[in-house]
Structure 1
Amino acid sequence: MTISVLIPAYEPDERLLNLISQLRALLNVSIIVVDDGSGDRYHDIFQEVEACGCKVLRHDTNLGKGRALKTGFHYIREAGLEGHVICADSDGQHLPEDIIKIAHSLDHMGHRFVLGSRRFSGKVPLRSRFGNVVTRGIFTLSTGTKIHDTQTGLRGYSVSMLDWLCEIPGERFEYEMNMLLRAHKDGFLITEEYIDTIYLDKNKSSHFHPLVDSFRVYLPILMFSASSILSAILDFALLFLIQSLTNHLFLSVVVARMCSSICNYTMNRKYVFGMSKTSNIHHSLPRYFGLVIVVLLLNYGLLYLYHEGLAIPLFIAKLLTEASVFLFSYWVQRKYVY
């Protein structure tokens, strides 16, 4: 089992050295530490890290956790290191035993990555417990995927995922949320391994700023939800506009659905998930618009039944139709499209 442990570090203390020492005692691992612009005051700590046989990569200024992780991923890829890559925090929250647990889990996994999910039992700082509950709830509502700990910094990947990891947008704490949002769309399955929850000194060493960084974390989820809402509004508006101009229900449904679908796909691809590669288009576009055609036919059939057959007003008929096809569309997108 070949393992590279990647540790982003900003203004670390002796807990980083303790983690490295414990890892060295338990495993034969390559340890890469990224100094994310900690400054001259922390020069001695990073010298000790290098003296322990670790590779230290440096940022001249603080660029954020996402950028630090990508710097490490780039190095591992260029160095040709093999096996598994496990990311851990430098503040003592992750036990060496849990890092080993993630590595063993990766041995049995294929095209997926593993999260070290905290149980949040015992004495957990209120901001940490509350933040995870809120993020977990919003993530589940937005994606339909239930993850126990969306904010964990203990994550494991195979080296085959390095190209993908380097392409994920985000420079700071939002990077890890973007990763989760992109995972299912790009065919990566997420597995969770439960780990111990450790907060030293009420987690005062955390560099997570509740207001600014929470906004960055939630922004991808909010954009994901906003994309669906804006597309639905466009679909409603075009349906009523074209219907009023042509009095042709099928034409109205087709044009409205196609325009809103193109809008939704484009917004998700460009702004929500930051996808740009042609291969990603070839992977998702045919399946997405195949579903659009099926949903369009269902949409028209139900709308015709409600509006023409049962003489329900068009607005109410449209609401009933969308509610009727929502679960089907949602299930297909989760299982086959993304």
Structure 2
Amino acid sequence: MREEKRIALIPAYEPEKEMVKIAKELKEEGFCVVIINDGSSQECDSLFVQASEYAAIYTHTHNRGKGAAIKTGLEYIKNNFSIPYVIVTVDADGQHKVDDVLRVVKVAEENPNSLILGSRRFQGNVPWRSRLGNSITRMVYKVSSGLDVFDTQTGLRAFSDRMVEEMLSVRGERYEYEMNVLLELARKEDIKEVEIATVYLNDNRSSHFSTIKDSYRIYKEIIRFASSSLTSFLVDYGLYCLLFMISGAMVVSSILARMVSASLNYSLNRKFVFKSQEAAIESLPKYITLALCILLGNVILLRGIVSFGINAYLAKIITEIMMFVISWSVQRQFVFKKGTREGDLYEKA
């Protein structure tokens, strides 16, 4: 059995005194503690000086985001610690209890090929935006990955040195990074949860999560997919109307319009939505196969819903929503592979 070092990685931006407390407690439990100062203001300098008694401090000259801070920490650990080791990311705001950190790390040591999440159950006095945000991301994640993860937004995550390179390759510099990690690992289904306490201090006022900006970063892929689908629909409908007005041939107009809109949709999804680097000769056959399956499924599902006595117009809406979700999930996981592009990988600070 591997005797592993335990390393606590704490990304910190404008922290309060809780950061020093958690660093001290983790150090006393035998952890090597690494804190990344993600461009905090000078007012926080004294806290980092205090924390340096218990932790190695690495500083970004300006705020780059939680994802970038985690990647900086991973690079630091990779270059300064010999394997084997287990890394646990811990929030700087004191919301993670040391007992919970220890339990999560223990499971990670027993499962070196898995990502272990400290999963809150959101019981008690939980800020409404935290409860709502996790409910939405949990639903989106389940739809897109097929996995049921209860706490997709937890910052308490543990994994072994075997996963460091994979963690560094995941895109995202800010809060979206943590969701991207879950989406990438979903294909391997190597995610486990350990229930932890739900702790929110001062109504979570220390959080730097921007409801609008960071929510967009997390959900931008599905927003882009919806935009692509809407654009393709408008082109399809507009071209169909134009061709039908000119020719009067409904079937021919419908087929030609669909061919054009499908080509547009494929291009938008490949380049704009999923940013795939896979050659068109590889992804196009998969896209065509999916499109045919969606068309067949649309007909079968629509007839099935109508057979239950549901209005045909309402049934069409329900069918399209379900097909939209299925199409997005399949395209993301199977049709368009995300290759590494220049500028996507982490650049060391």
TM-score bucket of the superposed structures, by smaller chain: 0.7 to 0.9
Structure 1, 38-47 or 92-101: larger mean CA deviation: 38-47
**1:207 aligned onto 2:212:** no
Name the counterpart of 1:311: none
The count of corresponding residues between Structure 1 and Structure 2 is 313
CA distance in 1, matches of 2:215, 2:104: 26
Q: Secondary structure at the match of 2:212?
A: helix
The one of 258, 264, 272 aligned to 2:269: 264
**1:32 aligned onto 2:25:** no
**1:231 aligned onto 2:237:** no
1:242-253 matches, cutoff 5 A = 244=244, 247-248=251-252, 253=258
The one of 289, 293, 302 aligned to 1:294: 289
Contact 1:253 1:299 in 2 (8 A): no
Please state how far the C-alpha of 1:195 moved relative to its aligned partner: 0.6
CA distance in 1, matches of 2:332, 2:88: 27
**1:93 aligned onto 2:95:** yes
Deviation string for 1:106-161 (max 9, x for gaps)?
A: 23436542221111112223443343334434554566554322221111233333
1:156-171 matches, cutoff 5 A = 156-171=158-173
CA distance in 2, matches of 1:164, 1:219: 24
Q: Secondary structure at the match of 1:73?
A: helix
Deviation string for 1:212-271 (max 9, x for gaps)?
A: x1122221344222333233334435555377578546666555434422321322333x
**1:19 aligned onto 2:59:** no
Instruction: Provide structure 2 residue ranges, at least 5 long, that are not aligned to the other structure.
Output: 302-312, 338-349
Please state how far the C-alpha of 1:298 moved relative to its aligned partner: 3.5
Instruction: Provide structure 1 residue ranges, at least 5 long, that are not aligned to the other structure.
Output: 307-314
Q: TM-score, normalised by structure 1?
A: 0.73
Change (3 A) 1:59 1:322: closer
Name the counterpart of 1:2: 5
CA distance in 1, matches of 2:217, 2:208: 17
The one of 150, 154, 157 aligned to 1:152: 154
Deviation string for 1:189-231 (max 9, x for gaps)?
A: 4322211112234334x1325xxx1122221344222333233
Query: CA RMSD of the aligned region, Å?
Result: 4.0
The AA in structure 1 aligned to 2:155 is G
Contact 2:24 2:51 in 1 (8 A): no
1:9-88 matches, cutoff 5 A = 9-27=12-30, 29-52=31-54, 54-82=55-83, 83-88=85-90
Contact 1:291 1:329 in 2 (8 A): no
Q: Secondary structure at the match of 1:214?
A: coil
Q: Secondary structure at the match of 1:97?
A: helix
Q: Secondary structure at the match of 1:177?
A: helix
Contact 1:8 1:68 in 2 (8 A): yes
Please state how far the C-alpha of 1:105 moved relative to its aligned partner: 2.3
Please state how far the C-alpha of 1:94 moved relative to its aligned partner: 0.8
Please state how far the C-alpha of 1:89 moved relative to its aligned partner: 0.9
Change (3 A) 1:219 1:125: closer
Q: TM-score, normalised by structure 2?
A: 0.71
Structure 1, 95-104 or 130-139: larger mean CA deviation: 130-139
Q: Secondary structure at the match of 2:87?
A: strand
Change (3 A) 1:292 1:34: same
Contact 1:177 1:220 in 2 (8 A): no
Q: Secondary structure at the match of 2:211?
A: helix
CA distance in 2, matches of 1:124, 1:76: 34
